[in-house]
Amino acid sequence: MSMASALWDWYAALGYDALNALLPYDELQEAVLTALAPMSSERLFIAGCGTGNLEMRALRRVNGLEIEALDFSASMLARARAKCAGYANTHHHQGDLCQRLPFSDDAFDAAVMCNVLYALPDRQAALAEISRVVRPGGRFILCDRPPGSDPKLVTRAHFTMLSALTGRQRLDGWLRTLGALPRLLAVAAINRRIQRRMETGAYYFYPIEEITSLLDTLGFTVMRVAPAYAEQCWLLQAIRRVEER
């Protein structure tokens, strides 16, 4: 366990996957997949894949995908690999997104980075690498937190959404929430640490105008931005411009 990945290793071990019991997290994963719109036989890159929730969702939905996923946390990757074990064309790599990626230029039809950018020490280098490995005309889906976002509001939104459900769905939702409760408390504690790192400047939350302009300098055209994750994130769809390289 490296110093840099220690927080994320702990997060995976203490209960990252309890997030799957939260309705806004489910809604976020769905929104990211809808924005990504993967098509059969496409080659996708998942940057900072965590425990593999997006890969699983994409693989269940679309046949014939080839997925390369990368994360630096061994504990996150162990869970992601276990989830995707039945899929031959999916590979999980351990690596640092701020270093050169182990893929050739133009290797992917699309890339996704969801709730990872804020934690990277060299965000510009990481985005430049994504730009290098996405083919011209390819898609980049980026989701992250703006300044002032508050993860506590995600939990509040979960209970509002839960109360709006009816019948069996509502019962299942409550049972899942109660089952995940101890791990959700650990998630809340880790989120407090993430918040502190933001306050001390170790993590950085991009305002949407700043990230849009940075992506433009790196060869992406931002096509659409929408709020996501109980409005605690922005979700951005960009296209790698054809003329540049």
Ligand X SMILES: C[S@@+](CC[C@H](N)C(=O)[O-])C[C@H]1O[C@@H](n2cnc3c(N)ncnc32)[C@H](O)[C@@H]1O
> What is the rounded distance in angstroms from the CA atom of residue 113 to the CA atom of residue 8?
16
Does 71 bind ligand X (CB under 6 A)? Our answer is: yes
Whether the Cβ atoms of residue 132 and residue 220 lie closer than 8 Å to each other = no
Q: Point out which span in 68-76, 83-91, 147-155, 227-235 binds ligand X (CB under 6 A).
A: 68-76
Whether the Cβ atoms of residue 38 and residue 60 lie closer than 8 Å to each other = no
Give residue for tokens 């946390």. 73
Q: Point out which span in 33-41, 59-67, 111-119, 201-209 binds ligand X (CB under 6 A).
A: 111-119
Q: Is the CA virtual torsion 57, 59, 65, 68 positive or negative?
A: positive
Q: Which is nearer to ligand X, 174 or 231 (CB)?
A: 231
Does 72 bind ligand X (CB under 6 A)? Our answer is: yes
Let me know the angle formed at the C-alpha of 200 by 10 and 192, rounded to the nearest 5 degrees. 40
Contact set for ligand X, span 39-58 (CB under 6 A): 48-50, 53
Alpha carbon 238 to its chain centroid, in Å, reads 15
Residue with smallest beta-carbon separation from ligand X: 50
Structure tokens at 14: 């203490």
Q: Point out which span in 92-100, 164-172, 218-226, 233-241 binds ligand X (CB under 6 A).
A: 92-100
Does 76 bind ligand X (CB under 6 A)? Our answer is: yes
Burial class (CB in 10 A: 0-12, 13-18, 19+), 77: buried
Does 96 bind ligand X (CB under 6 A)? Our answer is: yes
Q: Point out which span in 72-80, 130-138, 156-164, 227-235 binds ligand X (CB under 6 A).
A: 72-80
Q: Which is nearer to ligand X, 186 or 221 (CB)?
A: 186
Burial class (CB in 10 A: 0-12, 13-18, 19+), 215: buried
Q: Phi first, then psi: what are they for 160, rounded to 5°?
A: -65, -45
Contact set for ligand X, span 145-174 (CB under 6 A): none
Whether the Cβ atoms of residue 183 and residue 164 lie closer than 8 Å to each other = no
Does 119 bind ligand X (CB under 6 A)? Our answer is: yes
Does 98 bind ligand X (CB under 6 A)? Our answer is: yes
Binding residues with ligand X: total (CB under 6 A): 18
Does 114 bind ligand X (CB under 6 A)? Our answer is: yes
Q: Which is nearer to ligand X, 4 or 239 (CB)?
A: 4
Residues of this chain that interact with ligand X (CB under 6 A) are 5, 8, 48-50, 53, 71-73, 76, 96-98, 114-116, 119-120
